[in-house]
Structure 1
Amino acid sequence: NLFNENDNINFDKNHFYILSIINPKYLEMACDEIALKTTHKLKLKSNNQIDIHSDNNIDLIAKNKVLIKSNNKIDIRNDSQSLKNILIDITDAIANLRVTGQAIIDESSRAGIYGIRSRIYDLLS
């Protein structure tokens, strides 16, 4: 019984070693690679928080769509930009567009758009 603290059974060293009991409340594994594969659904659920950390890339790949949903706020950011601030600046830039005469856009009012476009590329590409 892997969950019984009083059971000192070790398996044959050619096959498997259990160095300590598995605590179902806390499990930590250190290895080079873990692969989880299912033919239908993989569900990760926590009553508190799920942390995913990588020193390199985290790839979310889907055939149809990736859904990010929260009952509260969603924060998408990198080290220097947040999507919220970029979108606020986009709406401010649109609000500050000036039309002169016969629906001609004052080209100087487009300057803010180029900076916002650059920030979007920095955040999302």
Structure 2
Amino acid sequence: MFVLKHCVTKNPKSGGTKIKENVINKPKTVSVKYSIHTSRGDIPVCKPTFVSILGVGKNRTERIVKQYHETRILPAERRGGDRVSQKSIHKKLAIRNFIESINCCETHYARSKTVIRRYLPCDLNIVKLWKLYNS
């Protein structure tokens, strides 16, 4: 949002392709004017100055400005997120179903019978549960 606030985009006046030493450059799709806001108003600056003030790469600013110019939609943040838990949902459900299939014991500490808490038999441990699950 900050980058777009300090940039003015428009279609280029001439966007033809240029051929230099057997390399064809893609036509220019957007023309950008950069400015920095100060107490005296907005000061127009060149792209390298704008990029150095922000401390980001030039490709990042180009990508944000070009995408906004083409779609008029702010680019969504795609960093972070959980990518692991979606892959193991079926494993989690299988383990939960296995644990629920084991016959549970009542505790002798509670005076009234509780329906919410269920306890596994005391002869089961993690190794035995793992072997039962794999078998």
TM, length-normalised to structure 2: 0.27
Larger radius of gyration: 2
Higher helix share: 2
